[in-house]
């Protein structure tokens, strides 16, 4: 016996489409812009130039930033534990 497809109501679209559009505008687009700008030397104003992975090379070779990246997971774990109490 053949089963028919359920018809999706108009209410479903009226509830999900605006939310999906807002998610795309306020989450996805800023995230993609951040990824793009991480590969440039843009300071927030003026012109930018593509620098590739140089920003990431600097980040992992700088001792101060490396120390922060090592402690960050511990801080996150501590915060998570303290908030769950």
Encode pLDDT of 1-53 as tens digits: 566 677 888 999 999 999 999 999 999 999 999 999 999 999 889 999 999 99
Supply 10's token pair.
């108009």
Q: Which residues span the domain enclosing 37?
A: 7-52
Rounded CA separation 56/58 (Å): 5
Rounded CA separation 70/76 (Å): 11
Q: What is the pLDDT of residue 2?
A: 60
Contacts of 31 (CB under 8 A, 6+ apart): none
- Give yes or no: residues 44 and 63 share one domain: no
Mean local confidence (pLDDT), 43-67: 88
1 domain-assigned: no
The residue that leads in pLDDT, 81 or 43, is 43
Q: What is the pLDDT of residue 9?
A: 87
Rounded CA separation 37/51 (Å): 10
- Give yes or no: residues 19 and 32 share one domain: yes
């Amino acid at each position: 016996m053949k089963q028919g497809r359920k018809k999706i109501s108009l209410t479903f679209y009226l509830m999900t489409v605006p939310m999906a559009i807002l998610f795309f505008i306020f989450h996805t687009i800023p995230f993609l812009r951040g990824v793009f700008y991480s590969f440039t030397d843009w300071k927030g104003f003026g012109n930018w130039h593509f620098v590739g992975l140089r920003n990431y090379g600097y980040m992992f070779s700088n001792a101060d930033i490396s120390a922060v990246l090592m402690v960050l997971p511990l801080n996150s774990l501590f915060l998570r534990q303290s908030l769950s109490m």
